[in-house]
A and B are shown apart, each in its own frame.
Chain A
Amino acid sequence: MSSYAFIGKSMPRVDSRAKVTGEAQFTADIKLPKMLTGKILRSPHPHARIVDIDVSAALRIPGVKAVITGRDALQRKWGVFGYTQDQQFLPSDKVRFIGEEIAAVAAIDEDVAQQALECIRVEYEILEAVFTTMESLAPGAPLLHDDFPNNINIHVPINVGDVEKGFAKSYYVREDTFTAAEDSYFQGEPYAVVARFDMDNNLEIWMPNAGPHMKAKPLSNALGIPLNKIRVRKITIGGAFGGRSEISPADFVCALLARKAGRPVKIVYTREENSIATRQGHALITTIKTGVREDGRVIARDVTCYMDGGAYSSTGPIAVSVPFLCMEQAYKMDHVRYNGYRIYTNKPPRGMIRIHGRAFACGVDTQLDMIGEHLGIDPVTMRLVNAREPGDFTNTKSHVASCAMKETITKAAERSGWDDKWGKLPPLRGIGIGCNSVQTGFPMGIRGGSQAIIKLNEDGGATVISGVVDNGQGNDNMLVQIAAEELGVRTEDVQLVTADTEVTPSDPGAYSQVSTFIGGHAVKNAAENVRMQLFETASRALNVSVDDLVARDRMVYVRDSPDKGIPLKKVVRMILAQGKAVCGQGEYWPKVDPKREWVKNPFGQMCGAFSFGTTIAEVEVDPETGKVTVLEVTAAQDVGFALNPLVIEGQFQGSIAMGGQGGILTEGHVWEGGSVLNPTQLEYKVPLACDMPKINTIIIESNDPEGPYGTKESGMSIAMSAAQAYAAAVSNAIGVYMTDFPLTPDKILEALRNKAEAEPVNQEQDEAKGLEIVVPAV
């Protein structure tokens, strides 16, 4: 029985009331006086030099208040890192993908704005374009960026031990290649921005974001305005999933339009724009060579990965590293070599996504199953033999303080009935397991830590000021839970001022699952500071030591003697009467190695904690249609400590939908050259309620020594492991190891056909098998 009032308890989220009544305001819901509609003209060409842009006809249209092109911008190149500065918002030299921003208008309404866009004349000189990593790398291929030879945007080389020696010592070695198409976020809310300047040139801007401070600094640089004049405001956000981590060209364009027009401007992306002009997931080609002992333990692994990065760097160095990191955290290896390449192509830029690098992750696990089959070892044992353990160091020298990976495997196996099912299911039924590990944070330089401020009002209510942002995952509730717990007030006593760069101190944002671990930690520390101020005054009034006091249910009282106490608001008033504020700050800085760098020095402590997840999926394949029906999914994750089990279950369920159900069965972009053929929800199939299986969730608590209350990441380890489990289950059902994702019906049917051709079986048996399948369906 925990001694907490709110921590560790399932509680409905504080933000849900506004969301069920329609009161919650998203960016597109904002309406400001004299606000204009902004629209962006996009390149129809994948690669072309901009010769001339003539906007004069657009400017003559009544109702058009501003038109901008690259000439209106400072023409600085932006990048997340100093060595990845390759993107000029509103480019003036050339366009590099279909959909790239070329000009924009602000007008009195959408119809006028649209009409104005159609009047802008752009003269292009068409350049040769490249659409796949292999085309880009081919000798003589056109360069996207002159300063990046061979179209190699990023190369992350990691070499630990001696893989060749490891392979020589191995009992069994095999090499396989896995591929996947681009995937997309399809956040509920299409991207939108509202911007306005005041007469002192202060910019006020609203947009979905995964970190307001991460938006403000690049905007400050791109616009040439001091940081304290950029006010990224809090707004309800309709999902991020990794896709709203950076400045968007739309932020910059909207701000420029607002400045030029002298009026507020709103840009709302269409669903198509959200797909082609924000971010996408990378397409991957991953070759994995693994050598094992006779008992299945991996001795050496050599991975080469080509990631299709699209036209610009985005979070390139991180994107190339994370698939490797997830693997080295989840599984032990004595020797490992990694060569990760992010390659430019004339397609939309790619960023981090919830199931980042699915071909990599699914490849590692599929290959473990292949090896297990060769050795006669079942998949669960293969995972247990290789699973990360607490106290270990990863190959790149991160200490893993807390880890219940093995427990996630055994508990998930038990709950799913693995032993009764593996190898015993009827034809075309399959079961598969996937394991993964996700970082709780990573070195982020000056914005790697979070600071929070809490003030108490004279009635005992609290205001929490924190840079933490809520993209929909429940971060606001997390902050309220922590503050209420530490201050001894009720959750309804806590007000939030968050995610507003004018007011809230620095915070890394909702990146890499770090909000609770870092931002929540800072709020916890701030609340402890304020509580100590209360205790110092209360201890004098009650004549006891501060160590004997507790704060709970709006009271400060002597431990184990609730009758001997003072109402919290009275303590506040006692302090205020002394002329002091009841206000405190707290900060948290993660214990990461600041010298660790993605490309130059990928060694040292990566992050404060690592989480571990196992998913097991059971599926059935229809051999006539290739359709996969998912019967049951079991997900177990070591989350450190469950702050709010209700919210964590929701994260698990959503992760299974996006990572497994969508990520492996249906989701992938289809292309014709540089054109996305499925940019809308009509053609890009995300899961619906009718697709979802029965889900079992198992929360495992390893109580991380560093995380607040022992917490670490929750959810993403499930999204990743769900993808791996779905892939493994389909392979198991059809008896073919699938290596190209997503596993759409056409690929499954082709695999079944190839298998039938390769293994001619007894005619009678075949017919009997066919009947067996057809009869129940009739």
Chain B
Amino acid sequence: MNKQPLEITVNGESYSLAVEPNRTLLELLRDDLDLTGAKEGCGEGVCGGCTVLMDDKPVRSCLTLALEASGRHITTVEGLAQNGELDPLQQSFIDHGAVQCGFCTSGMLMAAKGLTLSKPDADNKEIRDAMSGHICRCTGYTKILEAVEAVVDRSKEKR
């Protein structure tokens, strides 16, 4: 298949690449850019493990062609921490015991990040809805929801 040019920004870094039209964004991130934080749990957009932000909105990178991300800004879990400081969501996941096996964690974090960016004052129902497209087999979700709620509540207090 003929490769097509792709200009893309990932975690703040610009790339000029040539990719096959059938290459998914997930394959590009994991195999070409060695960003393996996004996981393939199902390959059909169900589990949510491959979620990354495209221009601050969560997308399933397994269902997104790399070329669809042309000219866009992609954020993966590796791009959440800034200058060695964990994102408040990452710290909250640690503190609340929201991480068990960790396979769903990056997708969960990116969904939560997308929510806090688009709706910083989300209520608990909105948080639950935003996280309900992601499968976790270990935690029963309680501590994941608590972790996100704590970050949203703290940002509400600040304002």
With a cutoff of 8 Å between Cβ atoms, the chain B residues found around residue A409 in the complex are: none
What CA separation (Å) do A23 and B140 show in the bound complex? Answer: 24
Does A239 touch B at the CB level, under 8 Å?
yes
B74-111 vs A: 1/0 string, CB under 8 Å? 00111011000010001001110101111111100100
A659-703 vs B: 1/0 string, CB under 8 Å? 001000000000000000000111000111110100100000000
With a cutoff of 8 Å between Cβ atoms, the chain A residues found around residue B137 in the complex are: 185-188, 239, 241, 654, 657-658, 686
With a cutoff of 8 Å between Cβ atoms, the chain A residues found around residue B139 in the complex are: 650, 653-654, 657
- Chain B residues 117 to 133 lying within 8 A of chain A, measured CB to CB, are 128-129, 131-133
Of A26, A28, A472, which one neighbours B138 at CB under 8 angstroms?
A: A472
Interface SS of chain A: loop
With a cutoff of 8 Å between Cβ atoms, the chain B residues found around residue A687 in the complex are: 140-141
Does A455 touch B at the CB level, under 8 Å?
no
Q: Is there an interface contact between A189 and B39, defined as CB atoms closer than 8 Å?
A: yes
The stretch of A9-17, A54-62, A291-299, A440-448 in contact with B is A9-17
Does A755 touch B at the CB level, under 8 Å?
no
Rounded to whole Å, the gap between the CB of B150 and the closest CB of chain A is 13
What CA separation (Å) do A17 and B30 show in the bound complex? Answer: 20
Q: Is there an interface contact between B128 and A16, defined as CB atoms closer than 8 Å?
A: no
Does B53 touch A at the CB level, under 8 Å?
no
Does B67 touch A at the CB level, under 8 Å?
no
Q: Is there an interface contact between B95 and A20, defined as CB atoms closer than 8 Å?
A: no
Q: Is there an interface contact between B101 and A28, defined as CB atoms closer than 8 Å?
A: no
Contacts A187-B137, A189-B39; A239 near B97 (Cβ below 8 A): no
Q: How large is the interface on B (under 10, 10 to 19, 20 to 34, 35 or more residues)?
A: 35 or more
Does B8 touch A at the CB level, under 8 Å?
no
Rounded to whole Å, the gap between the CB of A647 and the closest CB of chain B is 6
Rounded to whole Å, the gap between the CB of B107 and the closest CB of chain A is 10
With a cutoff of 8 Å between Cβ atoms, the chain A residues found around residue B100 in the complex are: 239, 472-474, 650, 654
Does A31 touch B at the CB level, under 8 Å?
yes
Of A26, A471, A472, A654, which one neighbours B39 at CB under 8 angstroms?
A: A26
Interface SS of chain B: loop
Q: Is there an interface contact between A22 and B103, defined as CB atoms closer than 8 Å?
A: no
Of A18, A271, A472, which one neighbours B41 at CB under 8 angstroms?
A: A271
Does B135 touch A at the CB level, under 8 Å?
yes
Q: Is there an interface contact between A690 and B41, defined as CB atoms closer than 8 Å?
A: no
Does B16 touch A at the CB level, under 8 Å?
no
Does A403 touch B at the CB level, under 8 Å?
no
Does B28 touch A at the CB level, under 8 Å?
no
With a cutoff of 8 Å between Cβ atoms, the chain A residues found around residue B30 in the complex are: 29
Q: Is there an interface contact between B128 and A188, defined as CB atoms closer than 8 Å?
A: no
Does B116 touch A at the CB level, under 8 Å?
no
With a cutoff of 8 Å between Cβ atoms, the chain A residues found around residue B37 in the complex are: 21-23
Output the nearest chain A residue to B37 by Cβ-Cβ distance.
Answer: A22
Rounded to whole Å, the gap between the CB of A258 and the closest CB of chain B is 19
Q: Is there an interface contact between A12 and B97, defined as CB atoms closer than 8 Å?
A: yes
Contacts A650-B138, A695-B142; A26 near B90 (Cβ below 8 A): no
Q: Is there an interface contact between B99 and A690, defined as CB atoms closer than 8 Å?
A: no
Does A769 touch B at the CB level, under 8 Å?
no
With a cutoff of 8 Å between Cβ atoms, the chain B residues found around residue A26 in the complex are: 36, 39, 103
What CA separation (Å) do A391 and B24 show in the bound complex? Answer: 61
- Chain A residues 364 to 381 lying within 8 A of chain B, measured CB to CB, are none
With a cutoff of 8 Å between Cβ atoms, the chain A residues found around residue B90 in the complex are: 20-21
B residues in contact (CB < 8 Å) with A:
30, 34-44, 46-47, 49, 76-78, 80-81, 86, 90, 93-95, 97, 99-106, 109, 128-129, 131-145
Q: Can you list 29 A-B contacts (CB < 8 A)?
A: A15-B102, A16-B102, A17-B94, A20-B80, A20-B102, A20-B109, A21-B81, A22-B35, A22-B36, A22-B106, A31-B34, A187-B137, A189-B41, A189-B101, A190-B41, A236-B101, A239-B137, A268-B40, A270-B43, A471-B101, A472-B101, A650-B100, A650-B140, A653-B142, A654-B100, A654-B139, A681-B47, A688-B141, A689-B128
**Contacts beyond the supplied A12-B94, A241-B137: 7 A-B pairs with Cβ under 8 Å:** A13-B94, A21-B81, A22-B38, A22-B106, A23-B37, A239-B101, A649-B143
A residues in contact (CB < 8 Å) with B:
10, 12-13, 15-26, 28-29, 31, 185-190, 236-239, 241, 268, 270-271, 471-474, 646-647, 649-650, 652-658, 661, 680-682, 686-690, 692, 695
10 nearest A-B pairs in the assembled complex, by CB-CB distance: A22-B37, A472-B101, A19-B102, A188-B103, A238-B103, A653-B140, A657-B140, A29-B36, A22-B77, A690-B132
